[in-house]
Amino acid sequence: MTDSNYSDFEPRGLNLVPMVVEQSSRGERAYDIYSRLLKDRIVFLVGPVEVQMANLVVAQLLFLESENP
């Protein structure tokens, strides 16, 4: 996206998101660390709470509410 409001959501440089692998009877599944934390209902917040970060946090909270009210 070219809108400057979304520039923080684009990958930059060599910033890598850590992955975790879970094993179960159904096989292996890889998650990025933020998705894995969200699965445990943990919302990870870094940096100042500005419009973009607030939108991300609200979206995560709404998702969690819809999954398990």
How far apart (Å, rounded) are the C-alpha atoms in residues 21 and 37?
Answer: 13
Alpha-carbon gap, residue 6 to 51, rounded angstroms: 10
Q: Which residue has the tokens 């400057």?
A: 4
Question: What confidence tens digit (pLDDT) does each residue in 3-18 have?
Answer: 444 445 555 556 788 9
**pTM reported for the whole predicted model:** 0.64
Higher pLDDT, 64 or 8: 64
Question: Among positive and negative, which fits the CA dihedral 9, 10, 16, 22?
Answer: positive
Report the distance separating Cα 53 and Cα 40, nearest Å.
20
CB-based contact 31:47 (threshold 8 Å): no
**Looking at residue 3, what is its pLDDT?**
46
